[in-house]
Amino acid sequence: MNILIIGGGNMGLTYAQAFLRSHVTTREQLMILEHLPEKAAQLRSLNIGSVYLDAKDCIEKADVIILAVKPQDSGSLFEKLKAATTEEQVFLTIMAGVKIKNIQEALGVKKVIRAMPNLPAQIGQGMTAFTSADEVTRLELVMVQNLLATTGKTVYVEQEDMIDATTAISGSGPAYVYFFMDAMMQAARQLGFSESEAELLVVQTFTGAVDLYNKSNLSCADWILRVSSRGGTTEAAIKSFKANTLHQDIIDGAVAAYNRAVELGK
């Protein structure tokens, strides 16, 4: 199975390295198309496969083609690819907001799988939701799921609209976590801790809290109750969060991300 990754940025490189590390492909079967000469030279120095600058030199060799470029670049990319694509090729897109139907029409292809990964894929802790066109066979879907699983956990969704919803939750979600962590670090510094102490306190708190959650059957609400005591410090913080509508603000932010994902699809 020959794999072509179009786009040698963060996610393109993440996939290339994950595929090789997990032995789902070989360097001889892996190709990367990168239009920036300097970036292409950097990729070649990593010895992770064949690196190309021109689509016509590699597109026809690929069985699976991964579209790992920015959605705003899709129009010009499709123009370069269309003449060389075939209906037997499987296309995996991670472009936010770009619909399966749009890709099928723009490239004249049928077998399209749309996925939304997130940043922790870079360390094998990613979360990827994916869906597919009806023309993708079960065998092809399993094959692509195995590729995606090299970067973390996966979930298949029946409705393509849920990919936009995934973008708002797990796709953008790491930034929400970092935003909250940054606020807590700022609070720690304000309370007298040094920068390194604040970072240690917050990072370990998040790490420990998530691990504890994963190793139990309790809900977030259950754990909040366990940490809180009547009239105590945690209760004071939670009351402040609620008074300032922080919970709803987070929900509203995720909805705003979803609405933007839908806009990108138009």
Give Cα 174 to chain centroid, integer Å.
Answer: 10
Using CB atoms within 10 Å of the CB of residue 217, give its burial: 0 to 12 exposed, 13 to 18 middle, 19+ buried: exposed
Both 71 and 127 in one domain: the answer is yes
Both 34 and 136 in one domain: the answer is yes
Q: What is the pLDDT of residue 21?
A: 95
CATH at residue 211: 1.10.3730.10
What one-character DSSP code corresponds to residue 157? -
CA pair distance 264, 168, nearest whole angstrom: 13
Both 54 and 132 in one domain: the answer is yes
Enter the pTM of the model.
0.88
Range of the domain at 102: 3-161
CATH at residue 96: 3.40.50.720
Both 206 and 154 in one domain: the answer is no
Is residue 34 situated within a structural domain? yes
Q: What is the pLDDT of residue 72?
A: 83
Query: Residue 207 contacts by C-beta under 8 Å, 6 or more apart in sequence?
Result: none
Q: What is the pLDDT of residue 262?
A: 85
Q: Please measure the distance between the N-terminal and C-terminal CA atoms of the chain and give it in whole angstroms.
A: 33
Both 9 and 124 in one domain: the answer is yes
Give pLDDT < 50 ranges for the chain. Answer: none
Domain closes at, from 132, 161, 190: 161
Both 10 and 76 in one domain: the answer is yes
Is residue 167 situated within a structural domain? no
pLDDT digits (tens, 9 = 90+) for 123-134: 999 999 999 999
Both 108 and 236 in one domain: the answer is no
- Nearest Cα residue to 185 out of 174, 176, 175, 193: 193
Domain count for the chain: 2
Within 10 Å of residue 111's Cβ, how many Cβ atoms?
24
Strands annotated E in the chain: 3-6, 30-33, 50-52, 64-67, 90-93, 112-116, 126-132, 152-156
Is residue 78 situated within a structural domain? yes
Is residue 137 situated within a structural domain? yes
Both 126 and 209 in one domain: the answer is no
